[in-house]
Amino acid sequence: MASSLYSNAQHVDFESVLGMDDPGMVSMFEALMASGLRGFLGCPAIVYEDALVDFFENASVRNGVVISTVGGQLVEISEKLFAETFELPIDGLGDLSEMPKDVVFDARSIVSQSGEPINLSGRKNQMKMPFRLLCDIVAKAISVKAGSFNAITVEKFSLLTAVVCGVKMNWANFLFGVLKKMVSASSKQAKGFANQDSFEEDSASFCFHQ
């Protein structure tokens, strides 16, 4: 039912999902909105494939700014511009390692299908359905790592915890940090970033409509 209201768990149509006849799903999406990610996750995924490939092939990071050329045109993205464009929060945790352990422990029970704390090295079928979808969203649109989307990782669960438990995150700093890693050729190889995920689509919309 929810599949028609989001695009591959990446671009979220908040207008539609908040009207769903499913309290669990609505509550999850309300938490996602409250996190401050609506501007980023709700950005229409308008992709110009050739321009996108051009952007990432030519991109580099200089003095904390992402710089590239697309069709011979200079593109510069600073963290401030990135934050303003997607209306991202700039206060809170910027590093997932700072996530309070007691909050993570609480989240393990909150999202659990059985009521028992879930295993962080297990699979997402341990979770209630709304949180399985949330796990997909944070994996594909925020974490942007290649690999199994059914597996729970500490990174994905920390992101999920931030949303579920209302942890204040500096999403501007975190997401811009992901973008900077993606444009580094060595980081893309070492970190295994997925090449066709929504982070690139959102970035493409941002780059080619500013």
Give the range of the structural domain holding residue 183, as residue numbers without chain letter.
48-78+171-189
Within a domain: residue 43?
no
Within a domain: residue 72?
yes
Within a domain: residue 64?
yes
pTM summary value: 0.80
Within a domain: residue 101?
no
Phi, psi of 149 (to 5 degrees): -85, -5
Q: Could you give the number of structural domains in the chain?
A: 1
Within a domain: residue 176?
yes
pLDDT in tens, the chain (210 residues): 333 333 344 567 787 777 888 899 999 999 999 999 988 888 766 656 677 778 888 889 999 999 998 888 898 999 999 999 999 999 999 889 999 999 999 999 999 999 899 998 889 999 999 999 998 888 888 876 655 678 888 888 999 999 999 999 999 999 999 889 888 754 454 455 554 445 555 655 555 444
Within a domain: residue 204?
no
